[in-house]
Structure 1
Amino acid sequence: MITVVEGAPPMEAAIGALRASLLGGLDPEAGPPRSAVPVPRGQLLLMPAHWGSYAGVKVVSVAPDNPARELPRIQGNYLLLDGETLTPLALLDGIALTGVRTAAVSAVAADALAEPEASRLVVFGTGPQARSHVEALRCVRPIREVVVVGRNAERTRAFADEVGARVGRADDVARADLVACCTTARTPLFDGSLLPAHATVVAVGSHEPDAREVDETAVARSTVVVEAVSAALREAGDIVLALQAGACDPGSLVRLADLVRGRAQLPPGRPRLFKSVGMAWQDLVVAAAHFEAARA
């Protein structure tokens, strides 16, 4: 009988589970590519994975026009399976899962990249991912100041009030310790030359090769970390477009697993950029941890 697991996993538990999976040998490069099927009003995404005692698949729809209808842009569910028999075990809310796991992956990377005393955070975006990233980054760094940059003035003010932030502008990145890009933008959000040399950027908004939130100047100046080089070269417009402009070399990309395992060299005096496209192993790891916690 399939168990329905309600709610979202706790952020700190998700961060811990993802970090533990990478330390335990999970190889993001080994995962199958995301299947993206265009449909008249958006996309259908299929994301299967297998690791340890579990397998699973997330089925998600992306409908860009939905916010105008007061409906979620992204909807879907996660089916968790026993890894040995492939028997269905649990059904989870795919959107609640995505909201937590995306920010939790960013927090794992930021915890390894950001200055220990990083306290000034600039967030681009006012949606669920922006909210989750404020929570996640507060779990790994002593954030004392949050600046929110958004397109809609009313929503930006409301979001700032909700998370204890102030409304800012794109050039606030010049004073940032951490920058979180959590938007649906298809063109760069800020001038990469403004980034302080000590800053860490996480960019999670796109998984398409022709869309980006970060310009080639930021990429060229930074040590760039990705979940998997194969996925980044396939889906990360921030990386793909910078490569096309000659701003970086594929051989310079750092794998997240190597970073977490302490195998990556991080040159001093350069910004650090983590570009995430979201991968199926992340959903599986967090879904399994949430299922086990609910069962216990």
Structure 2
Amino acid sequence: MRVISKHDQQELLNMREVISETGKALQAYSEGKTETPLRYSLPYNKDNRYLVMPALSEELGIVGIKTVSYAPRNPQKGKQTIEGSVLLTDYDTGETLAVLDGAYLTKIRTGAISGVATQYLARQNAETLSVIGTGEQAEGLIEAVLAVRAIKRIQFFNRTYDKAVHFAKQINEKYSDIETEVYKDVATAMDNSDIVITATNSSQPVFKGQLAPGTHLNAVGSFKPDMQELPSESVVNADKVVVEATEAALEETGDFFKPIEEGKWSAKDLHGELGRIVSGELAGRESPEEVTLFKSVGLAIVDIVVANYFYNKVVEQDRG
């Protein structure tokens, strides 16, 4: 059995390769070639949650389980909000192949799914990215967008301004050829953006109104019915609303619960699943003026596919 650490994953990561593998997993899911139950959530210690997510695919020859602890008060203690692990199992023998650090893998998986969405839904000439929320997931999301679009400028907003400044400095050091700027006002941070990322723990919309024509938005923060980081107007007025898993999205996120409760939107207004766009069954972006919105709540089969990607890399290089 291999133990694959965060450091191992960082050393082995090629985001373009992970995005490609993620696209295959999303397509397999939408074609019914996976077993991916809705995640099981156990609340504990007030706001904390323990999430259990098994998944397998005969088509892809993989099986595994991801467990995650979500502890929103951890940053006040100098710790990560998300901790967890992924257990990868041999599809033929049932033997444990690897245990992987789940926090870093989650960041990469979250980014890669939005990378696939950006590849198919953002304008090809997109140059300006706005990032709303500069927590743990933001770095992976940025890396994935940069893997599929030639971004020249990134605009940041976080409710804690100093946190955004610190994060922007890190991004600028990593990608020195990209212009960065931090704003104290979210609307200004979204001005002239081609792509917007929202990655917050907010229970209230983090911006107001609808998106500007031509914008693509990746929303990854709201994963509970009482969390809503998107205003209802942005969902209602988008030309295409896309998800990775219809059932999970409608069950789990307040970004859809709220406009449905308000009678402004319904499940029939979904354009469809991202995997069906990858396969060519559904259209992606069809015009420069379209507003496209991708809402992600995570998908366990993608975690297992990404874990398998790192496992294969580790075996090739005899690491772990």
Q: One fold, TM greater than 0.5?
A: yes
Shift >6 Å, 4+ stretches:
none
2:43 counterpart (32, 38, 51): 38
CA contact (8 A) 1:229 1:255 kept: yes
**CA deviation map 1:11-35 (0-9, x unaligned):** 2221111113344x33386510100
CA contact (8 A) 2:80 2:136 kept: no
CA distance in 2, matches of 1:148, 1:28: 37
Partner residue in 2 for 1:14:
18
- CA offset at residue 267 of structure 1? 5.9
Matched, 1:287 2:307: yes
Moved more, 196-205 or 2-11: 2-11
**CA deviation map 1:53-89 (0-9, x unaligned):** 2211111111111111111111111110012232111
2:160 counterpart (148, 152, 161): 152
How many pairs align?
Answer: 293
Moved more, 29-38 or 5-14: 5-14
- CA offset at residue 119 of structure 1? 0.6
Partner residue in 2 for 1:27:
30
**CA deviation map 1:107-150 (0-9, x unaligned):** 10111000000011000111121111111101111100100001
Task: Give the alignment's TM-score, normalised by structure 2.
Answer: 0.87
Moved more, 225-234 or 80-89: 80-89
Partner residue in 2 for 1:48:
54
CA distance in 2, matches of 1:248, 1:275: 15
Q: Secondary structure at the match of 1:60?
A: strand
Q: Which runs of 5+ in 1 are unaligned?
A: none
CA contact (8 A) 1:188 1:214 kept: yes
CA contact (8 A) 1:124 1:149 kept: yes
- Matched letter for residue 228 of structure 1: A
CA distance in 1, matches of 2:201, 2:45: 19
Matched, 1:198 2:214: yes
Equivalent residue runs for 1:1-296 within 5 Å:
2-7=1-6, 8=9, 9-23=13-27, 25-27=28-30, 30-41=35-46, 42-51=48-57, 52-164=60-172, 165-168=180-183, 169-172=185-188, 173-193=190-210, 195-222=211-238, 223-253=240-270, 254-265=272-283, 266=285, 268=287, 269-296=289-316
- Matched letter for residue 166 of structure 1: E
CA distance in 1, matches of 2:254, 2:16: 29
- CA offset at residue 208 of structure 1? 0.3
CA distance in 2, matches of 1:12, 1:234: 30
Q: Secondary structure at the match of 2:29?
A: coil
Q: Secondary structure at the match of 1:136?
A: helix
Task: Give the alignment's TM-score, normalised by structure 1.
Answer: 0.94
Partner residue in 1 for 2:175:
none
- Matched letter for residue 167 of structure 1: V
CA distance in 1, matches of 2:290, 2:22: 26
- Matched letter for residue 14 of structure 1: V
- CA offset at residue 232 of structure 1? 0.8
Moved more, 242-251 or 139-148: 242-251
Q: Secondary structure at the match of 2:247?
A: helix
CA distance in 2, matches of 1:163, 1:246: 40
CA contact (8 A) 1:190 1:215 kept: yes
